[in-house]
Amino acid sequence: AASVATVSGTGKVKTTSNMTFYGAALNITGLSFALAANTSYYFEFDLNHSSTATAAGVWFGATYPAASTITWMVTQMLTAATQSTFYSEGAIFTSAAGATGAVVNGTQPAKLTGSISTLGAGTLQLQVKSELAGGRGIVKAGSGGRIYEE
């Protein structure tokens, strides 16, 4: 039977206050994991976020070691009755990696799950940005992630 071992424990946003982001990609504090070469991992992140405008979506992405194979999915709640799910193979950010907020400054949950197979060692670093160049949002303190070696 296959076994799953925790590789790097659980990462969390390390600041006690919220982390503000804008239109450019920004590393989410504390949500990075060291990856070994020639290894496969499963990862999941639970993220609470908000946006300053309903028309400004929140995009999640990641940086990772070159020549890695990565597949990930983001599911975000838009309203109590509506959610969006986006899927990506290999792209750091795509137009299909975000969701428009339903309530200005309202806390919305997002779940990001995926897998990565590395050729070289490096770091998986979760990132966030606003869909709009002039947009702004907040990743809420306490958002976190886990990674497991497959």
Pairing of strands 40-51, 144-149: antiparallel
Residue with tokens 């070696």: 149
β-pair type (137-139, 108-117): unpaired
pLDDT-based confidence at 16, cuts 50/70/90?
Answer: very low
Give residue 3's pLDDT. Answer: 54
pLDDT of 13 over the 50 cut: no
Instruction: In whole angstroms, give the CA distance from residue 126 to residue 33.
Output: 9
pLDDT per residue over 52-92, tens digit each?
Answer: 766 667 788 888 999 999 999 888 876 667 677 777 777 66
pLDDT for position 99: 56
71-102 burial code (b ≥16 CB/10 A, e <16): ebebebbbeeeeeeebebeeeebeeebbbbbb
Tokens of 38: 């020639």
Average pLDDT for 112-118? 93
Separation CA 137–CA 80 (nearest Å): 20
The Cα 6–Cα 120 span in angstroms is: 20
Asked whether the predicted pLDDT for residue 1 surpasses 80, the reply is no
CB 97 within 8 A of CB 86: yes
126 is written with which tokens? 């979760």
**pLDDT averaged over every residue in the chain:** 77
Average of per-residue pLDDT across 30-58 = 83
